[in-house]
Amino acid sequence: MKIKFYTLKNMESSIHFNKLSNDQKEAIKVVGSVLPFRVNNYVIDNLINWDDIPNDPVFQLTFMQKGMLSQENYEKVKDVLYNENSTQADIASMIFKVRKDLNPHPAGQLSQNVPKLDDMEVEGVQHKYKETVLVFPSSGQLCHAYCTFCFRWPQFIGDKDLKFSTDKDMEYLNYLKENKGVTDVLFTGGDPMIMNTKMIKSYMEPLLSEEYSHITNIRIGSKSLSYWPSRFTQDNDVDELLEFFQKINQSGKRLAFMAHINHPNEMKTEEFVKAVKNIQSTGTIIRSQAPLLKHINDDAETWSTMWKRQVQLGIIPYYMFVERDTGPKEYFSVSLSDAYEIYQKAIQNVSGLARTVRGPSMSATPGKVCVDGITTINGEKVFALKLLQARNSNAVNRPFFAKYDKEATWLSDLELLEDNDKLFF
């Protein structure tokens, strides 16, 4: 099977396009001018039930919906797009304005986490937590399909100021060489698996040499397993890819494949199962992570079904995230209170093998903050919270509390109980 991409330009060539109402087509065009839109033939032919749109979870995951922009912004973009007197410049400036409203770089990503080497910023690298460095390969800043909720959307819209990726000298290698405290390197994007095997090797193979013996885990963060499983079964260079995975594992390091899977429907095809087996046959461990999203997976049964199936396939459930404060956050957000209830109920319905998953967790400025429970202290209802990861590693795994707030959707909405403030600052 050959990958075929559908974007705003060629959407109409898909037979499924006829099934969309005029309102849906308009929404794709309007919202898709602000946020990146792209799906592929595998996703639309195998993962979406076209008799159940617009509610189908993978349809919501990949096709823009009207509610993904505020009503005001939607109307503004629609007006400028459909007004025949609009110039290209009018359209571009409106889109630019609306994008700025969507908080393109949340949690101080660009300002606080870019490391320096000899006083120069190391491009395409984030180093937030002591042991793990994130690398954004410049050739991996695309995906096999785009998720409508994606917090990495600024990577895909071609705006150089918003984009974040490695330079051609691969300075990240020097950075890693000099930082012996780093044990894990996580290649992310975009999707690093969009690269061909040769390119993947050029980024990862240097790490197998002696100078990098402190790096014990190489991670790949990817949605390819569910968006394009042929990457591991049929693509031209698949043999070379699997051999390379095996080589990493035989070198004494471990390759960890961090699969992004939002819904059990993404795990139904034979191609998916075959891809999982092929990756595992190289000694690679697959773990799964995903955000909790309204319209897509905001009920406990979806999660317990997903985790059970993953464990059955040998995939280790790892993180459940709370949707970040960027992009179409309003459309997808679930309150922290509901998120906790969903997690709790889902965990109760799986065996201990699936209770490896931690969450619901917010990737916020101080670190990954997990809602650990809802309880009462001195007669007051509170959230029990915990840092799963922290910039300041002394804060990891220490409980702290915030006043219960039924509507809160993010850490910044919470009022911490007084003496907790010192945890962060």
Ligand X SMILES: *Cc1c(COP(=O)(O)O)cnc(C)c1O
Which residues of this chain interact with ligand SF4, rule CB under 6 A? 143, 146-147, 150, 152, 189-191, 223, 260
Determine phi and psi for 242, rounding to 5 degrees: -65, -35
Q: Could you tell me the two tokens for 180?
A: 């012996």
Positive/negative CA dihedral, 116, 118, 121, 126: negative
- Smallest gap from residue 193 Cβ to ligand SF4 (A): 10
Does the protein bind ligand X through residue 152 (CB under 6 A)? no
Q: Could you tell me the two tokens for 387?
A: 């840092």
Does the protein bind ligand X through residue 65 (CB under 6 A)? no
Q: Which is nearer to ligand SF4, 222 or 409 (CB)?
A: 222
What is the contact mask toward ligand X in residues 354 to 373, using x (rule: CB under 6 A)? ---------x----x-----
Q: Residues binding ligand X: what is the number (CB under 6 A)?
A: 9
Bridge-partner residues for 287, per DSSP? 258, 316
CB atoms within 10 A of CB 422: 9
Does the protein bind ligand X through residue 134 (CB under 6 A)? yes
Ranges within 114-133 binding ligand X (CB under 6 A): 126, 128-129, 132
Which among ligand SF4, ligand X, none contacts residue 192 (Cβ within 5 to 8 A by kind)? Answer: none
Which among ligand SF4, ligand X, none contacts residue 260 (Cβ within 5 to 8 A by kind)? Answer: ligand SF4
Q: Which is nearer to ligand X, 163 or 391 (CB)?
A: 391
- Smallest gap from residue 291 Cβ to ligand X (A): 12
Determine phi and psi for 204, rounding to 5 degrees: -100, -30
Q: Residue from 389, 402, 409, 411 that binds ligand X (CB under 6 A)?
A: 389
Q: Which is nearer to ligand SF4, 152 or 386 (CB)?
A: 152
Q: In the structure, how many helices (H) and strands (E) does the chain have?
A: 14, 15
Does the protein bind ligand X through residue 73 (CB under 6 A)? no
Q: Which is nearer to ligand X, 78 or 368 (CB)?
A: 368
Positive/negative CA dihedral, 58, 334, 78, 163: negative
* Separation CA 188–CA 224 (nearest Å): 12
- Smallest gap from residue 262 Cβ to ligand SF4 (A): 9
- Smallest gap from residue 45 Cβ to ligand X (A): 33
- Sole residue written with tokens 């001195």: 378
Q: Which is nearer to ligand SF4, 19 or 105 (CB)?
A: 105
* Separation CA 320–CA 261 (nearest Å): 10
Residue 254 burial (C-beta neighbours within 10 Å; 0-12, 13-18, 19+) = middle
Which among ligand X, ligand SF4, none contacts residue 263 (Cβ within 5 to 8 A by kind)? Answer: none
Q: Which is nearer to ligand X, 162 or 238 (CB)?
A: 162
Does the protein bind ligand X through residue 280 (CB under 6 A)? no
Positive/negative CA dihedral, 289, 293, 299, 305: negative
Which among ligand SF4, ligand X, none contacts residue 363 (Cβ within 5 to 8 A by kind)? Answer: ligand X
Rg (CA), the chain: 22
- Smallest gap from residue 5 Cβ to ligand X (A): 28
* Separation CA 122–CA 126 (nearest Å): 9
Distances (CA, A) of 172 to 68, 130, 137, 176, 228: 35, 16, 10, 6, 28
Three-state secondary-structure class, residue 68: helix
Three-state secondary-structure class, residue 4: coil
Ranges within 185-204 binding ligand X (CB under 6 A): 186
Which among ligand SF4, ligand X, none contacts residue 189 (Cβ within 5 to 8 A by kind)? Answer: ligand SF4
Residues near ligand X (CB under 6 A) are 126, 128-129, 132, 134, 186, 363, 368, 389
